[in-house]
Structure 1
Amino acid sequence: MQGSVFKEFSERTQSFLQVKTEVFFKINQLQEVFMKKFLGILGIILFIFGCGSNIKPEDHEALKNKNGELEKALAEKQKESETLQEEINQLKLQMQKISDEKTALENELKSEKETYSANMAEMQGKMEENEKLYSQNALKNPNISKNQEEIDKKNKEVESLKKDMNQLKDSLSKSLNEQKKLLADEIAKLKSQLKENEAKTQEALNKSKSVESQAEAIKKQIQEKEAMMNELNQKIAKLAEEGEKKLKEKDEEISKINQVYTQLVDELKQEIDKKEITITKLKDKLTIQVLNQVVFASGKASVTKEGEKVLQSVAKILQDVKDKQIFVEGHTDDLPIVSSIASQFPTNWELSAARAISVVRFFQNQGIDPKLLAAVGYGEFKPIVPNDTMENRKLNRRVEIVLLPMINKTEESTSEERSDTKKNEPIEKEKIEKLIENQKLEKSN
């Protein structure tokens, strides 16, 4: 019975031997119980030997009671072994401590083995001595043989306990070796995992640094783009303001041109009806075409009396125009200069230029600011119709008075800026398109 109890205990605790303190504590408890029961049996034997033939029936009864107590104690130990199973389950939580306790466990186990061997040797010696004393006393006292069967039974139990203890010792040693191997494997596995985790941690750290670098670069790009957008918005606002201002100025210029046009049409209605004068306007440009025959005699560059009347009517209206550039352009047909005037006007260029200058001088004499006046001769090189008929040649022989908006230095600078802006438009457009594309990508990410 006792052997089966220890065997069951050994089987239940075999897989949990790595927890050194608790297991050896239970082993020590079993050893103490064993020693107590052994000493109890030894006491009974000594009692029997000491009493000799004076053993009374009540002493036999006490011996039986003692034996019953032993069996009861063993039953309690069996119950304790079941309780031990529950305690061992709790000990699983302490398995992580085994790595630190392994060396101490091996040293203590060695010490326990030596102590156990010494105790067993001492017990064996006492048992042999007791058996010898028993044999000697049996010869002297025949009555003791009545308890031989009971004593033999107890001896068998003791032998069974010894056997169980030896099995438990072997099992402990085997389980410890297995546990050491498992621990070594687990430690190697943990080291491998630690190395792998360190590599992953380093990789994550590198990625984190890369992400931080990318974030910083993106932040810088955003700042640059915001600065670019602010600059573009300022340019747009400035251009819008300038455009609105220019539009207003254009409207005023067109209004003035329309006013001049109306005045000229009213003043020169008779000549217009005769188709000697043509007045055209295009937005802020006004052109007065006067046929040469109205202003000049054939081959001459001086203004005729009739021409002065017409030009006076024009000058009267142009005197109030202070913000327009007045260009006087001379034009001829493609017929060559006749020999009689070739010395004065070698080509149609000279003739057309001289006629334009005559009109400019006349306007100046009429009080028009000379700073607004300019003369140019185109000769036969800007016909309005082909020079293939007499009628067409008549139309091409003309003086054109062209009114255009004044171009001052500020406007020239603005014009240059516009030219530069146009040159930069593809670059700015490309930047804007790239900015929009990047913003789309950022939103999608």
Structure 2
Amino acid sequence: MARQGWFSITLIILLVLAAIASVYFYRSLYSEMAQLENAREEALSDAEDLQQELSRARQRLAQRSTSADRLEARLNEAQQSLARSDNELEASRSQIEDLKERIADLEADLSASQKQASARGDRLEQGQARIEALDEELALSKSRITKLLASREKLESSLAAATEEQTRTRAQADELADELETARTERQQAREQLAQRKAALEEVAEERQSVAEQYREAREQLALQQAQRRSASETIEELEARLQRERSAMDNLQTQLEDLSNEKQTLVSRLEDGTTVIKLPERIVFDSGSARIGKPGRETLKLLATALESFPDHLISVQGHSDSRPISPILQDRYPSNWELSAARAASAVRVLEITGIARERMQAAGYADTRPLVEETDAATRRMNRRIEVLLYPDQFNVKVHSEMTSE
């Protein structure tokens, strides 16, 4: 009887120890699950940060190279965080398997204990009270096992949700990697195109030989450099509105000049560097062989002045051109050559424009005689085409540069 009593006490102690060990084991498991949940939340937070960073990278195309480097670093961090989450999830799964085995072993031990208690029931009448206590402890253990099983189900559900979230995070990381690769490809293509354009410009520069073409190229480069240093206060919308006003003014002027000259040639054009060229045929401004501007010519220049209101910051260069025929003897006292005639016509046009309200510091007058013909002179019609006034509107960037140079001189 003493041996049986000792055996019962030992069994009770073992059950209590098993219950205590189970409590500590699950407490440790809950702590590890909390750490796993924190790690998952950090991974989700990192993924959201990456998504926000990608959105900002799309909006800053000019800074795409630097943003791509930052995205790549953040992507590496996200991948490392995902790898850590995978390891922690795998460890949690292993712990769950261990928990299942421990629960199975505990149930087996309980089942064996129940069988042993039932077999010895007839011989352990004096230990009946202890067996009842053991039954109560067994019931308590079963209740705890039930709670542990419920906790295990919740843990498995949380692990499934974490796995699904991890899959979404990986998909987002893959999309981010694709967009990063696309950004790198576009940046490389832009560099290649820039290199090709530079090579093409170098080839064109080598082919250009005339002084006029070299001057135009230098002016284009200067305008480009000045445009790159444009003040940040001038927005894209303002530039577009300004260009629209300029185009509208030039279209109206083209129509009005066609009506005056009865010619269907292009009288208003725009060069690649932004310079606008306005051609005024001789007969709608001047009398033949004279620099005097009559009433029709003044009306024409008033139309021009109205169009120039859309170009408030441009430098205005008025250039006179003649045909190749020499000045008649009657006019040689006043205009010894076509140089004097073309320069006088340009100066007369500038004076009329000044009267209409164009600031004199914005204008310049130049005469080119017959050195820059539009067409080869073969008859009266071609000579008439070469007799003209050209008004060049240089962009404001070049205007500022010219005024700066004039001031320094």
TM-score, normalised via structure 1 length: 0.36
TM-score, normalised via structure 2 length: 0.38
Higher helix share: 1
